[in-house]
Structure formats: C-alpha cells, structure tokens
Amino acid sequence: MEYEFEICKGCGLCCKIDGFVFLKDGEAEKIAEFLGMDVYSFTEEYCIIVNRKRLALKDKSSSNECIFLDENNLCKIYDVRPKQCKDFPYLWTNEELPEGCLLKNRVD
C-alpha cells in the first residue's frame, strides 16, 4: 500500500488518534532543554511510562490528543519532536488514519 505523502494537509489528526508517542534515548533531554526545563520536571509533567520501561508523551487529560498539539493543530515542540513523529507517515503509517486525513487517498 502506498500513500500520496505530498498531499498531507497538516490537519493534525494524526496527533489525535489513539496510540503512544515513544521517546528514544536522548529525546527527553532534548525536548526538556527546548522547553527550558530540567529533564526530571519534563518527564513528570509531560511523560508516562509504558509497560514499566518505555517513556512516552502524555495525551491531554480530556482527549487522545498529544499534549503538545496546540489549538491550531500545530506541534509546540516541532523543532525537537520525537523521531516517531518525524518518520510519520514516511517510514510508518497507521491503518486507522482518521477521516479527513488526505493520506487515506491511496494510490494504485
């Protein structure tokens, strides 16, 4: 299956679907520095531990939206966003892309 990657409209829906945004080694430190925080405060405020070992970003308390998605569907930490975010949808994608995502338009 292929997608027309170039037609991503930046709607932010992929930051709202269910699932974890995992952090790789060094990413928490990088984001914490970007936010002007120490890494312990950053992980306490913005992260959860999945399966007792993997660090992931929290969702907003009221929804599945990533805690860093702003009201204009922009990423507040775009310059230092995790690799998992950078790679989407080029290196991985989600079969459950939400309605409205132009990547649902598959090419033959």
Contacts with ligand SF4 by CB under 6 A lie at 8-15, 21, 57, 66, 68-69, 75, 77, 81, 85, 89, 97, 101-103
CA distance 10 to 33: 26
Task: Give the nearest distance from C-beta 46 to ligand SF4 in angstroms.
Answer: 10
Annotate 34-54 with DSSP letters as a single string.
HHT--HHHHHHHHEEEETTTE
Q: How many CB atoms lie within 10 A of CB 104?
A: 12
* Of residues 10 and 44, the one with the C-beta less far from ligand SF4: 10
Taking the complex as a whole, the smallest distance from the CB of residue 33 to ligand SF4 amounts, in Å, to 15
User: Measured from the CB atom, is 11 or 49 closer to ligand SF4?
Assistant: 11
Q: At what angle do helices 27-35 and 39-46 cross, to 10 degrees?
A: 100
Nearer to ligand SF4, 7 or 49 (CB): 7
